[in-house]
Amino acid sequence: HQSSLFHRGNLLFQEFRDMSIHRIGIIGLGTVGSRFVEQFNLHSSFDLVSAWDPSADACARNESAVKIASDANAVIANVDAVYIAVPPMFHKAYVEKCLSAKKGIFCEKPLGISVEDSKELVASVVESGLPAGVNFVFSAAPSAVGLQEAVKSGAIGDVIRGDLRLHFAEWPRAWHKLAQWLRKRDQGGWVREVVSHFLFLAARTLGPLKLTDAAVSYPDGPRGELCEREATAHFDCGEKKCAMVMIGSSEGVGPDIVEFVVRGTKSSMRIWNWYMLQSTVGSHWQDVLSTDRVKLGKDAYAAQLDQLALMLEGKPHTIATFEEALAVQELVEQILTPKNRPSL
């Protein structure tokens, strides 16, 4: 009888854990951090307890939507998990604070700038055993899930290649006005900010990536401060034994382009404008998902937080691991810095 009660108590505890609302805090209230204030407030699995940013202006802009803590330590102290949304140079310090406090971690990408520092950080995260992941939107976005399912099932036939094409008429983009560090090459640029998402997606879809060639140019020369204006890269993709090419640029009038195509022997599929999924068997593209871009964006954020809740509950999830984020960071820094590249 006692054993039965104990068993029932365990089941009740598990049920409570499964149904629990996760108390979360945010460190960093720039462009992305502010967006997640809204997303956490909308999601039924999360209670956004507090947030903080070193900028008083950033805190003031968000104080109507979230309680502003006195500092980062105050955020960490009163929650189950922390979303770290500061610029990448500061990720390591805040992740280490969360590890010391034994809190769950949801870190913005890229993981960092120094690959050596990130290797040390990943080792610490893995050793801790705490729930920890990195915010790559294609961890759960319906467009990414649909693409991966089509490749895995063989619906597109044998994979021939991947093509990643990007153009930004202005960088940083207008909605990045609170993140001007993205303009500088020390920790910004669209290769780190945007290409990283697609390298993560390509690795999950096509297998581990190996850089085979790369070239980068800058508007103020190789020793300047501004981020890249053009970048190209070639990769070998592991499991599918295919190649991938990335071509990107910024500046110049015209619509922005963000397109990732996986070409197969039966059909091809592309993710267009982040959340649109399209397929083709001939001369034109057909939509696979809704064409409502706003709805697709909301669905992607909701799916990401669904998976984050599963991660915090110790259940199977698709949130990017710190190890996956490190692999992406290594590729990004190889593209940007010739001395980091393997012997090509």
Q: Are 300 and 86 in contact (CB under 8 A)?
A: no
For residue 180, how far is the Cα from the chain centroid? 19
What's the whole-model pTM score?
0.90
Residue 182 reports pLDDT greater than 60: yes
The verdict on whether omega for the bond into residue 316 sits within 30 degrees of 0, i.e. cis, is no
CA-wise closest residue to 282 among 300, 298, 268 = 268
Residue type at 77? Answer: A
CATH numeric code, 2-136: 3.40.50.720
* Span 230-286, pLDDT tens digits: 999 999 998 668 999 999 999 999 999 999 999 999 999 999 999 999 999 999 999
Does residue 10 register a pLDDT over 70? no
Q: Residue 175: its pLDDT value, please?
A: 77
Q: Number of C-alpha atoms within 13 angstroms, CB side, residue 99?
A: 19
Task: Supply the pLDDT for residue 70.
Answer: 98
Count CB neighbours of 2 within 10 A.
Answer: 6
> What are the sequence ranges of the domains in the chain?
2-136, 139-340
Categorize the per-residue pLDDT at 59 as very low, low, confident or very high, splitting at 50, 70 and 90. very high
pLDDT band with cut points at 50, 70 and 90 for residue 290: confident
Q: What's the CA gap between 308 and 234, in Å, rounded?
A: 32
User: Looking at the domain 139-340, which fold is it?
Assistant: Dihydrodipicolinate Reductase; domain 2 (3.30.360)
